[in-house]
Structure 1
Amino acid sequence: MTIDKSKIKKIVLAYSGGLDTSVIIPWLKENYDNPEIIAVSANVGQGDELDGLEEKAKNSGASKLVVLDLTDEYVNDYIMPCLKADAKYEGYLLGTSNARPLIAKGLAEVAIKEGADAIAHGATGKGNDQVRFELGIKHFLPDMPIIAPWREWELKSREDEIEYAAAHHVPLRITKETNYSKDKNLWHLSHEGLDLEDPSLEPSYEKPGFLEEGVSPIDAPDEPTYISLTFAKGLPVALNGQQLTPKEIVLALNKLGGENGIGILDLVEDRLVGMKSRGVYETPGGTILYFAHEYLETLTLDKEVQHEKAKLAITYGELVYDGKWFTPLKAALDAFVDQTQEAVNGTVKLKLYKGNIIKAGASSEDSLYSPELATFDASDYDQAEAGGFIDLFGLPISVQARLDAKKGNK
């Protein structure tokens, strides 16, 4: 869509207060005939990153800052569906991916309320987030012009942005030496850039300030931490016997997991745009929840459902990663997943120790595991019946062998 800049009088900007969006405000004012900029920050659990944003946004040229508190909606309607689906992308627990459609929804709602002429974002032309934001916006506002400065401006690097910010008196919290590209919410924290762009280098886990959600497994306690998680229809409902909301459980597990060095992932992934990229993810609570949920499913799902669900989890993860949250296939998969979770009820015990999650037992009234059948001791199972089963199960092999022998192939 070609944008007629003369018609753009009011722009809603996805604003984090980070390097990209801090620079974008003065750039939009300069390059779009001084439009009104309404900065929108979505609170998805990034904590103190929201501190001082209103003053910063206004000092950078925005008319106001709108803060959307989306934490409960994020956990209940975006994180939990991914957990129930066991959805991952190449091992990554979708911490940035599953937040973008919700933020896009919030941007669209503010744009409608404010009567905006365009929506802008700070995602780069190399990355995945440009797709996630824009597909989400198109779902709610298919005809809304979308401005992506990284696809227009002359700035070529984050160093160029820092220099531009300095020239335009835009305050930053980073320097060229601490210029990791980070994305933080209550589910995860990602790190990209600088030394991480060389896969041959080990991340600086023990360097003060690198890890923010926890400690390196090397620095974790020498004694294990035992926990129990209770699920109802695939959703976490209690931690160590205490009834809590899903958000409260995620936050509590972030602390416990972080203290024990859980959930650090060094990943070279395949971006949607075609290139490989390397990053480090911290997802302490999420890693524990996924582990516990998958563990419980081994007890409560039958083989065919469990195997088919594992296949569809890959598709589900790819849809989320690619920004296709608001699609018919995603809705259909949600219906399938919800059906599978009816029996995912029970309690899982885990031992957390120096970056490891160790199974410590699981129980469920919906368990399909039968000790009476599986025991090596005497049981009602008639082992003699296995012979007939094997004859039928192996019948195609026997038929092929006889044919080979008849043709002289053996």
Structure 2
Amino acid sequence: MSKQLNYMSPVLNGNIKVPGDKSISHRAVMFGAMAQGKTEVTGFLAGEDCLRTIDCFRQLGVQITQDGGHVTVESEGMNAWREPAEVLYTGNSGTTTRLMLGILAGTGFHSIMTGDASIGKRPMNRVLNPLREMGADIRGREGGQYTPVAVQGKTLKAIEYTMPVASAQVKSAILLAALNAEGTTTIIEPVPSRNHTEIMLQTFGVQLSQEDSKIEISGDQQLKTANVEVPGDISSAAFMIGAALVAEGSDITIEQMGTNPTRTGILDVIKAMGADFELVERDGAGEPSADMTIRYSKLVGTEIGGAVIPRLIDEIPLLALVATQAEGTTVIKDAEELRVKETDRIDAVVTELKKLGADIEATTDGMVINGPTKLNGAKLASYGDHRLGMMAAVAALITDGPVEIDDVECIAVSYPNFFEQLESMIR
């Protein structure tokens, strides 16, 4: 379904709470299913991706009830899981697919996993290589590089693995496999990536050690149940942040937004660009959060690359749009990871923003944007990618003329009430 937007230079004002963090929601269900007993999750993101995770564990025999943002997981532990009678379907969720590979590799049964057409094009070899070093038996298309994949669970062995690129999904898959491995597994990251898995494993009673870029975890550890409060997803909040920055006169507050330091690269970048915002920290254990007030700002171009990239990889489409309104040149580099997301986000972002009149060019590992540029209305493609769909919607706030976006249903993957919240702030 397509949607036409004609906002006509709106001002945004108000307080909102964005949906729960997608990464944390996935892990809360997974770890609750691995633990023995009852786990309560509040603030859960009831988006398509996270619902696929729930469905997968239900097929393994785990009792899960979900009512909006409240989820109860009741499990007898991994040893009580049953072999799934049907193929595990992960939809569009790369997190579900890759982390489940690590979990299923150490079980005692056979399972098959597949996703939608987009997942079928996303390479799994970065996860499979270390898992196979641990002794995992995983097979599929082109040597198991693409779904569907079949996993024959077996006892694994610990490894020391130096990751070629920073990836929270790959790291997490290894950590989860390591729980069913004999010995102590060591992971060395080139630069820190999202650490939601490490934080939550400790919340569920798992012992691990971290020193600089090295993580060590021993096998034969049983997860204990825990209650998890999921903060707002900063990757979803990014689109509201961007909307306030570019819509003249805007002033909004985003409540209880997750501020895990491995995810706040966007805040570093917009600060360098001259954004006017402030954070008020919230109390709470585990994952940090804050209330963020963000206002329309006159921005300047900047360089985005290096160690900050893993901390904002999902926010780059939005930052590219924001950069079209900044004075000067913005260079995004070291972001090759974007080419293996839901779509090739480098080419897709450049193609769609050019339709609006942006001065933007793709490079092998990013893009170059010159601004400020007046944007015009156009018909845009979402590519079935939720973040590109939301980028297009934010662009409609500042275009001279309407913007039509195809396949807006894809936005429900991470932000089911996106349009409702955005339009509730328009004054």
Give the TM-score, by structure 2 length: 0.24
More strand by share: 2
Larger radius of gyration: 1
